[in-house]
C-alpha cells in the first residue's frame, strides 16, 4: 500500500472516530467495509500490564475524588487476525452496572460494546498524528486519540487513550 493511500485511509478513519460516540462501533463497521474478517466483530485482548493509576488531571476530568476507585484496563482491539488498536481505559466502576463490571473483568468484550446501554457521549480531548517513514506496517502506530466518555446524562465514567495501528488499513499492509 502506498504511503499516500495509507494516509488517506488513516485520515478517513480518524475523522469517523472523532465524530462518533463509540470507537468500537466505528471499528466494527470499518472492519466489515475493509473485509478484515468474515465476522467483523471486535474482541478485546487483555494485555498484562502494571496497574496505571489515573493522574490528578484524569480524576478531575472523571469527576472523582482521590479515594474513589478507578479501574484500569489495557487491551488490544482485534478483528479476526488483525490487531487494529491498543487502548488504555480508566473507568469508574461505581458508575457502571454490576453486569458491566463483570463483563469488563471476565470477558473479551470491548469497552464500547459493554457500556452501550449508557448511550455514551464521547468528548475528544487529544489527537496526535504519529509520523512514520515509508508505508506503514501492521504494527505501525498511525494516530492516537484521548477521549472522555460520559453517560447521556453528562456524567463522566471513562477516560480512554487509543493508538490505532497499520493493520486497521486492511489488505496490502505488510
User: Residue 120: CA atoms inside 13 Å, Cβ hemisphere, count?
Assistant: 28
Mean pLDDT by groups of 10 residues along the chain of 174 residues? 74 94 94 89 92 96 96 96 96 98 96 96 92 80 96 96 93 62
pLDDT for the residue numbered 86: 96
Q: Burial, 76: exposed, middle or buried (Cβ in 10 Å; 0-12, 13-18, 19+)?
A: middle
- Prediction pTM value: 0.92
For 82-155, strand residue ranges (E) read 82-91, 121-129, 141-150
Enumerate domains of the chain plus CATH numbers: 3-169 (3.40.1410.10)
Q: Which residues pair with 121 in a beta bridge?
A: 150
Amino acid at each position: 500500500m502506498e504511503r499516500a493511500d495509507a494516509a488517506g485511509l488513516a485520515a478517513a478513519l480518524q475523522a469517523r472516530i472523532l465524530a462518533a460516540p463509540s470507537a468500537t462501533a466505528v471499528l466494527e463497521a470499518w472492519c466489515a467495509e475493509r473485509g478484515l474478517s468474515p465476522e467483523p466483530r471486535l474482541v478485546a485482548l487483555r494485555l498484562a500490564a502494571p496497574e496505571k493509576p489515573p493522574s490528578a488531571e484524569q480524576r478531575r476530568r472523571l469527576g472523582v475524588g482521590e479515594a474513589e476507585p478507578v479501574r484500569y484496563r489495557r487491551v488490544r482491539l482485534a478483528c479476526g487476525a488483525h490487531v487494529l488498536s491498543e487502548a488504555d481505559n480508566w473507568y469508574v466502576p461505581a458508575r457502571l452496572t454490576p453486569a458491566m463490571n463483570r463483563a469488563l473483568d471476565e470477558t473479551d468484550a470491548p469497552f464500547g460494546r459493554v457500556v452501550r446501554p449508557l448511550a455514551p457521549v464521547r468528548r475528544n480531548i487529544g489527537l496526535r498524528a504519529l509520523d512514520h517513514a515509508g508505508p506503514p506496517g501492521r504494527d505501525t502506530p498511525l494516530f492516537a486519540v484521548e477521549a472522555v466518555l460520559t453517560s447521556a446524562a453528562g456524567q463522566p465514567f471513562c477516560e480512554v487513550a487509543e493508538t490505532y495501528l497499520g493493520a486497521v488499513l486492511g489488505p496490502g499492509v505488510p
